Amino acid sequence: FVYNLARSHQLRGEVINHSSGVDIIVEGQSQSLQHFHRELSTQAPPLAVITTMEIKDIAPQGFETFSIRPSNRSDPAQTLISPDIALCPDCLRELFDPGDRRFHYPFINCTNCGPRYTIIESIPYDRPYTAMRHFTMCPQCQAEYDDPANRRFHAQPNACPECGPRIWLVKSNGDGIPVEDLIARSADLLHDGKILALKGLGGFHLAVDACDEAAVARLRERKHREAKPLAVMFPDIDTARQYVTILPPEAEMLMGPRSPIMLCKVSGPASVVPSIATGYARLGVMLPYTPLHHLLLREFGRPLVMTSANLSEEPICIDNDEALSRLQSVADYFLLHNRHIYTRSDDAVYLYTAGAPRPIRRGRGFAPQPIFLQTESPSILAVGGEFKNTICLTRETQAFVSQHLGDMENLETFDFFKETINHLQKTLEIKPTLIVHDRHPDYLSTRWAKEQKHLPRLAVPHHHAHLAACMAEHKLTRPVIGIILDGTGLGKDDNIWGGEILTGDYGEIQRFAHLENMLLPGGDAAIKAPWRIALAYLAQSFNDECPRLPFLDNREMITILDMIRTRTNSPLTSSMGRLFDAVSAMAGGPCCIRYEGEAAIALTQACDDLSVPPFTMGIRRSGRERILCVQPLIRDIAQAIQEGADFTNISNRFHRTLVDWLNRAVQMAHRETGLDSVVLSGGVFQNEILLENLLSAIAKQGLKVYAHEQVPTNDGGLALGQAAIGQHYLKTIHQQQE
């Protein structure tokens, strides 16, 4: 890009890549130099990020041409690895140009697009170290690759039908289907309601017709995914607009180089089958991002359900043989190719809300691009938590947060976790000097960290990491007030936290206020049955005269009541996630759930009006802490239900209460501590009603308030916070040694 830009302005000089950036020396007419300077930022390729630019005048060197000087390999490593990038407009045009030599070629790419992170086996990022090493470029491709003026100059995955990878189609028993037009045949199979496993960029997808109820039902049954929403890929944005509303910033994300799944509001004349996202106001929308997707979707002409090919919560499949064996009972047909995937990477998921696109899941298109931190330190490995895990490696000011790895409870995810740590350490040439992990001793990530005997370790309380994650991505350095709301995390007092107002910074936290501790009968096991949580919260709030709300009809209550009375196997929790579960089940929401958060999500989906009176918002003092009193709230809600309030009414009033209550507690913290910056973090802030209204309520009081925009607010963001805390720790130790 620099070479071409300099040449286009008739400038002479050279460009050199080195460890701390790019040096450009240019000589020429001053007006050309000005244009060059401006266009360096404005015309930069889609994924180029200029973090800082310094300009110096030097004595003329008398260059005769502009050239690219080879970089010095003895420099300390500063490699960055590009994420995988969606097909660019130029390649898209060629893909459908009958006169182009890559017409309908499913692996067309250029320097502005195509696979990167997922095909790199080791460094340097050169073809022999990628999945492309098995394909020798034909003379035409090689000529493009060698020509600095060509769009495919040094495009490592460059290929064409003569020399590059190819696709083929097989039945689930592995038998090939010998047809001429594989894309047309695949589309026919989908029209017939078949389930197609499709090899993509970061792994396999399972695809079915999004307008075929029976096909979607079959996919759910075979994948053991009963009710959790599925994402849908539309042929193009105009088709998508017939199903959902797409705001300009959502369109920009969908059509941009990263091309994540966007959760868009459902509306419009057309609809996909309801079982794709039952009860949701939003649908996970994606657009084709590989040439193969474009070919298939254009041929098929309608939306396709596209979901990661795996069983329930296992990692996504990447290998042909692995897919055929693991998915044999799920997919009817497999559309395979022979470009190997080295690194699994699921699609990223984003929600545009409260004025910004916010990640729900980090993945393809984003990992492993660094997040820039305020300070630097020796390298750190942060291993995250247990659920929705990611890991983070730091190098100077860069924090490399991995793609979504998944829930660590199954062996496959744990393997993926270890693979990713090794792979990122190797390809980014990072040797960590400290491992940071969650304080919970039973998390698999914690156990793994403890086995790494050669490195010092730092254990970090779960909610401290959430607070630090939000501070780090906004480069905050002064202490803040943090509203940290989530489902589960081990607190400093060994109780389960999750409804916290903290004050502090990377160094330490104080607990300013929290939701009243409630007994949770059965601990984590209760999460699958919100009615038990609701009963437990009612029993504690009413002592003996627990009101017989409709959700208790025909329930076996004795065991739960006994557990509460005798405090058996009932840990204390201040979790906001559990409060949502309890209120949802009490008010008529799901009593047993089929996926994480289902009851809480149902309650939020019912909310349509916040101009309602709140329930009781008690705040009392207990030692140095404030308690947000849950029991009077539960009594209030029970009474409203007995008086006939419906699910929507309870939901509206509950959300109103939380916004006012938390805002009030934050103002108290502000008055007492003088702190005037507030960070919001934790999985509960995926709740857009709470997020939006709390952000504006706090801002209205004149405080600065921040929520996540670079890492997920859920536990997918923990690793970043752990890393930032680790940096602070190393610095403090260093100072003490001095």
Instruction: State the nearest-atom distance from the C-beta of 85 to Zn ion, in Å.
Output: 8
DSSP 206: E
Instruction: State the nearest-atom distance from the C-beta of 462 to Fe ion, in Å.
Output: 6
Burial of 218 (0-12, 13-18, 19+ CB in 10 A): middle
Instruction: State the nearest-atom distance from the C-beta of 712 to Fe ion, in Å.
Output: 10
d(CA 433, CA 730): 9
- Residue 118 contact, options Fe ion, Zn ion, none, Cβ 5-8 Å cut-off depending on partner type: none
Instruction: State the nearest-atom distance from the C-beta of 112 to Zn ion, in Å.
Output: 5
> Which range binds Fe ion by CB under 5 A, 121-129, 257-265, 488-496, 668-676?
488-496
Give the total of residues touching Fe ion (CB under 5 A).
3
**Residue closer to Zn ion (CB basis): 112 or 584:** 112
Contacts of 125 (CB under 8 A, 6+ apart): 79, 81, 116, 156
**Residue closer to Fe ion (CB basis): 596 or 715:** 715
**Residue closer to Fe ion (CB basis): 14 or 715:** 715
Angle 598-606/688-700 helices, nearest 10 degrees?
60
Q: b/e string for 615-647 if b means 16 or more Cβ within 10 A? A: bebeeeeeeeebbbbbbebbbbbbebbeeebeb
**Residue closer to Zn ion (CB basis): 88 or 538:** 88
**Residue closer to Fe ion (CB basis): 688 or 715:** 715
Instruction: State the nearest-atom distance from the C-beta of 357 to Zn ion, in Å.
Output: 23
Which position among 486, 500, 505, 516 is part of the footprint of Fe ion (CB under 5 A)? Answer: 486
Residues 84-123 as x/- pattern, contact with Fe ion by CB under 5 A: ----------------------------------------
Instruction: State the nearest-atom distance from the C-beta of 111 to Zn ion, in Å.
Output: 7
> Which range binds Fe ion by CB under 5 A, 181-189, 389-397, 433-441, 479-487?
479-487
d(CA 660, CA 516): 17
Instruction: State the nearest-atom distance from the C-beta of 413 to Fe ion, in Å.
Output: 17
- Residue 110 contact, options Fe ion, Zn ion, none, Cβ 5-8 Å cut-off depending on partner type: Zn ion
Task: Please answer whether residues 48 and 71 qualify as being in contact, where contact means their C-beta atoms are separated by less than 8 angstroms.
Answer: no
**Residue closer to Zn ion (CB basis): 108 or 675:** 108
Instruction: State the nearest-atom distance from the C-beta of 729 to Fe ion, in Å.
Output: 20
- Residue 160 contact, options Fe ion, Zn ion, none, Cβ 5-8 Å cut-off depending on partner type: Zn ion
- Residue 715 contact, options Zn ion, Fe ion, none, Cβ 5-8 Å cut-off depending on partner type: Fe ion
- Residue 162 contact, options Zn ion, Fe ion, none, Cβ 5-8 Å cut-off depending on partner type: Zn ion
d(CA 6, CA 115): 27
Instruction: State the nearest-atom distance from the C-beta of 166 to Zn ion, in Å.
Output: 12
Say which amino acid occupies 618: G
Task: Please answer whether residues 720 and 399 qualify as being in contact, where contact means their C-beta atoms are separated by less than 8 angstroms.
Answer: yes
- Residue 320 contact, options Fe ion, Zn ion, none, Cβ 5-8 Å cut-off depending on partner type: none
> Which range binds Fe ion by CB under 5 A, 155-163, 285-293, 330-338, 715-723?
715-723
Q: Count the neighbouring beta carbons within 10 Å of the beta carbon of residue 56.
A: 5
Whose structure tokens read 């009972």? 329
- Residue 141 contact, options Fe ion, Zn ion, none, Cβ 5-8 Å cut-off depending on partner type: Zn ion
- Residue 113 contact, options Fe ion, Zn ion, none, Cβ 5-8 Å cut-off depending on partner type: Zn ion
Burial of 447 (0-12, 13-18, 19+ CB in 10 A): middle
**Residue closer to Zn ion (CB basis): 110 or 264:** 110
> Which range binds Fe ion by CB under 5 A, 174-182, 226-234, 359-367, 485-493?
485-493
Q: Two tokens at 174?
A: 């592995």
Task: Please answer whether residues 76 and 19 qualify as being in contact, where contact means their C-beta atoms are separated by less than 8 angstroms.
Answer: yes
Residues 215-254 as x/- pattern, contact with Fe ion by CB under 5 A: ----------------------------------------
- Residue 138 contact, options Fe ion, Zn ion, none, Cβ 5-8 Å cut-off depending on partner type: Zn ion
How do 480-490 and 677-681 pair as beta strands?
A: parallel
**Residue closer to Zn ion (CB basis): 88 or 587:** 88
**Residue closer to Zn ion (CB basis): 162 or 672:** 162
Instruction: State the nearest-atom distance from the C-beta of 485 to Fe ion, in Å.
Output: 9
- Residue 88 contact, options Zn ion, Fe ion, none, Cβ 5-8 Å cut-off depending on partner type: Zn ion
List residues binding Zn ion (CB under 5 A): 88, 91, 110, 112-113, 138, 141, 160, 162-163
d(CA 212, CA 218): 10
d(CA 644, CA 638): 10
**Residue closer to Fe ion (CB basis): 120 or 460:** 460
**Residue closer to Zn ion (CB basis): 151 or 464:** 151
Which position among 209, 438, 500, 715 is part of the footprint of Fe ion (CB under 5 A)? Answer: 715
Instruction: State the nearest-atom distance from the C-beta of 486 to Fe ion, in Å.
Output: 4
**Residue closer to Zn ion (CB basis): 108 or 718:** 108
d(CA 283, CA 26): 50
- Residue 486 contact, options Zn ion, Fe ion, none, Cβ 5-8 Å cut-off depending on partner type: Fe ion
Is residue 346 within the footprint of Fe ion (CB under 5 A)? Answer: no
According to DSSP H, which parts of 474-620 are helical?
Answer: 530-542, 558-566, 576-587, 598-606
Burial of 207 (0-12, 13-18, 19+ CB in 10 A): buried
Angstrom CA distances, 389 to 49, 121, 359, 576, 611, stand at 26, 22, 14, 20, 37
Q: Two tokens at 255?
A: 């059509």
Residues 156-195 interacting with Fe ion (rule: CB under 5 A): none
Is residue 407 within the footprint of Fe ion (CB under 5 A)? Answer: no
Q: Two tokens at 696?
A: 């504006």
Whose structure tokens read 């500063």? 78
> Which range binds Fe ion by CB under 5 A, 19-27, 428-436, 628-636, 707-715?
707-715
DSSP 364: B
Determine the 3-state secondary structure of 656 from DSSP. Answer: helix
- Residue 91 contact, options Zn ion, Fe ion, none, Cβ 5-8 Å cut-off depending on partner type: Zn ion
Angle 598-606/576-587 helices, nearest 10 degrees?
70
Contacts of 369 (CB under 8 A, 6+ apart): 47, 49, 80, 82, 83
Task: Please answer whether residues 517 and 573 qualify as being in contact, where contact means their C-beta atoms are separated by less than 8 angstroms.
Answer: yes
**Residue closer to Fe ion (CB basis): 12 or 437:** 437
d(CA 470, CA 156): 36
**Residue closer to Zn ion (CB basis): 16 or 47:** 47
Residue nearest to Fe ion according to CB distances in the complex: 486
Burial of 572 (0-12, 13-18, 19+ CB in 10 A): middle
**Residue closer to Zn ion (CB basis): 150 or 631:** 150
Nearest alpha-carbon partner for 283 in 238, 358, 232, 213: 232
Instruction: State the nearest-atom distance from the C-beta of 645 to Fe ion, in Å.
Output: 31
Instruction: State the nearest-atom distance from the C-beta of 575 to Fe ion, in Å.
Output: 10
Angstrom CA distances, 142 to 156, 158, 161, 339, stand at 10, 8, 14, 18
Instruction: State the nearest-atom distance from the C-beta of 421 to Fe ion, in Å.
Output: 21
**Residue closer to Fe ion (CB basis): 388 or 474:** 388
Contacts to Fe ion by CB under 5 A: 486, 489, 715
